[in-house]
Amino acid sequence: MTQRDYPVIIEPMDPEDGSGFVAYAPDLPGCMSDGETYAEAAAHVQDAIACWIEAAVEMGRPIAEPTRHLSFA
């Protein structure tokens, strides 16, 4: 399978949700992870993306191509 680079959004968690960062891949519904640091969240979401794609392949579900049009405000 070809390597795909999905855009990832990493944000600080709300204090009431704990500390650290949450990371998600908007192109892959429900694909998210977290970490105590920005770098940890970034690494964990890459693992989540790989697992998400593996599960989609096993279930015969379509896998969206990565988008490149995220903008930040």
Mean pLDDT of 26-55: 96
Query: How many angstroms separate the CA atoms of 32 and 73, rounded?
Result: 21
Give the DSSP letter of residue 16: G
pTM summary value: 0.84
pLDDT confidence band for 16 (50 / 70 / 90): confident
Tell me what percent of the residues of the chain surpass a pLDDT of 70: 89
What mean pLDDT value characterizes the chain? 89
Q: Among 3-7, 18-22, 54-58, which stretch is predicted with the lowest mean pLDDT?
A: 3-7
Angle made by CA atoms 41, 23, 8, in degrees to the nearest 5: 110
Q: Residue 50 has which token pair?
A: 């790989």
Residue 28 has pLDDT above 90, yes or no: yes
Angstrom CA distances, 51 to 16, 19, 40, 61, 72, stand at: 28, 24, 17, 13, 27
Q: Do the strands 9-12 and 21-24 form a parallel or antiparallel pair, or are they unpaired? A: antiparallel
